[in-house]
Structure 1
Amino acid sequence: MLTVHHLRQSQSERIVWLCEELELDYELKLYDRRQDNRLAPDEYKALHPMGIAPVITDGDLVLGESGAIIDYIAATYGPGSLVPAPDHPDFAQHLFWLHWSNGTFMATMMMQLMLTMSGAPEGMAHTFTADRARRGWEMVEQRLGEAPFFGGAQLTTADIMMGYPLTTARAMRGIKLRDDQPNLKVYLQRIGERPAYRRAMEKAEPGMEPVLS
């Protein structure tokens, strides 16, 4: 059976959301973060050589990495669902946002976090990451003014990937929505109205209100 190993308040919430959108029969195992350093507990780290979320198991398969897991589940359990066909007009934009989410957007957020945690003095690194972050948030707002979803006219796995940095990760970084982000605000409310998203967050983060504003 497909099992989603979800480290609470982590990227693995994406995988729970995907499974709920596809209405899959899956097992969900929750893992709490350590109290001393807020990292994954030892039993979670033992699941995969990288020791980070997300991780799924499916029979003998152990698979990590958000994009790989999402592609695997979509192809194995939901062929034709949430992924535009190559000849679909939304295909290219779907691919871009699917890969940009972790390849650039989340990577920039992590660079900013590491600079803050390291106590690095203001300088070129801070300027570089701040500029990348600014342009990233501007791209998000522009895209959501062009289409109702990152993948185009309909929700795709690109939205599953983009959801985490725009909600839980944003809250963990203390990033507030601004008045000049009306498209993002409407988008998050649209996502919050999806029954599958509500089910996923209730299961993945019991007791925590989704960060949609």
Structure 2
Amino acid sequence: MITVHHLNNSRSQRILWLLEELALPYEVKRYQRDAVTMLAPAELRQIHPLGKSPVITDGEAVVAESGAIIEYLIERHGDGRLKPAAGTPELLRWRYWLHFAEGTAMSPLLMKLIFNKVQTSPMPFFAKPIAKAISAKVLKGFVDPNLKSQLDYMEAELTQRDWFAGDEFSAADIQMSFPLEASAARAGLDASRPRLMDWLQRIHARPAYQRALKAGGPYDYAR
């Protein structure tokens, strides 16, 4: 039996969604973030030394990292589903977006989260103006321009095809869901990029996505 070690409001929601799309049996073991630090609980280190989510167990196998989990499940249990055929341009795009999601896309999103917290976190009064000035400069000069160029790029890609890998929905779209949901929540993705917003509406309407929400519990990024 596949077990998803699921952390609330995390990338592991994608794994639940993938399993629902593949109609595979699985069980969920839930973990809650610390309400103050928002970090994963120490119990997750019993599954994987880094104590992060997502991580799955499948028999003796322990698989961590979203992209690796998706590839493992598709190759072992997918029976050719949610992955383009070998030797096609769609497969090359599929691999690209599978890695883009956690490589290029997430870095500025994480930086934005961190520097926004710097501006609002408690600190000695004499340090606050300096910290706010530094974070504002980094956001304006580096983070926000990178986020804008990435969103523009993804918007342009979806003017050429319905889904990230091609004309068919695939696991690449599942992998891309988290950075785009996070972008809509905190990085300026809105109606000014209609193709991306339409894509978000279409993935959220999928029955398997809705079943995954019920399986995983509250997930703020789906709003």
TM-score norm. by structure 1 comes to 0.89
Question: Which deviations, in whole Å up to 9, do the C-alpha atoms of 1:113-161 show, x marking residues without a partner?
Answer: 2233345513357512222111111112111211111111111111111
Q: Tell me, in whole angstroms, the C-alpha distance in 2 between the residues paired with 1:176 and 1:131.
A: 11
What does residue 167 of structure 2 align with? 153
What does residue 215 of structure 2 align with? 203
What does residue 38 of structure 2 align with? 38
1:89 Cα deviation (Å)? 3.2
Q: Which consecutive residues of structure 1, in runs of 5 or more, have no partner in the other structure? A: none
Larger radius of gyration: 2
Shift in CA distance, 194/103, structure 1 to aligned 2, threshold 3 Å: same
1:170 Cα deviation (Å)? 3.5
Bigger CA drift: 154-163 or 35-44?
A: 35-44
Q: Tell me, in whole angstroms, the C-alpha distance in 2 between the residues paired with 1:210 and 1:124.
A: 28
1:7·1:44 contact (CA, 8 Å) conserved in 2? no
Q: Which amino acid is 2:10 matched to?
A: S
Question: Which deviations, in whole Å up to 9, do the C-alpha atoms of 1:36-83 show, x marking residues without a partner?
Answer: 212111212332112111110111221111111110011011131111
Taking the TM superposition and a 5 Å limit, the aligned residue runs for 1:1-213 are: 1-119=1-119, 120=131, 121=134, 122-123=136-137, 126-167=140-181, 169-170=182-183, 174-206=186-218, 210-211=222-223
Shift in CA distance, 127/208, structure 1 to aligned 2, threshold 3 Å: closer
Q: Which amino acid is 2:203 matched to?
A: I
Shift in CA distance, 147/10, structure 1 to aligned 2, threshold 3 Å: same
Q: Tell me, in whole angstroms, the C-alpha distance in 1 between the residues paired with 2:175 and 2:30.
A: 20
Q: Percent identity at matched positions? A: 40
SS at match of 2:103: helix
Q: Tell me, in whole angstroms, the C-alpha distance in 2 between the residues paired with 1:140 and 1:46.
A: 38
Q: Tell me, in whole angstroms, the C-alpha distance in 1 between the residues paired with 2:108 and 2:219.
A: 29
- State how many pairs are aligned: 209
Shift in CA distance, 207/107, structure 1 to aligned 2, threshold 3 Å: closer
Q: Tell me, in whole angstroms, the C-alpha distance in 1 between the residues paired with 2:222 and 2:104.
A: 24
Q: Tell me, in whole angstroms, the C-alpha distance in 2 between the residues paired with 1:133 and 1:47.
A: 34
TM-score norm. by structure 2 comes to 0.86
Q: Tell me, in whole angstroms, the C-alpha distance in 1 between the residues paired with 2:219 and 2:179.
A: 20
Bigger CA drift: 66-75 or 140-149?
A: 140-149
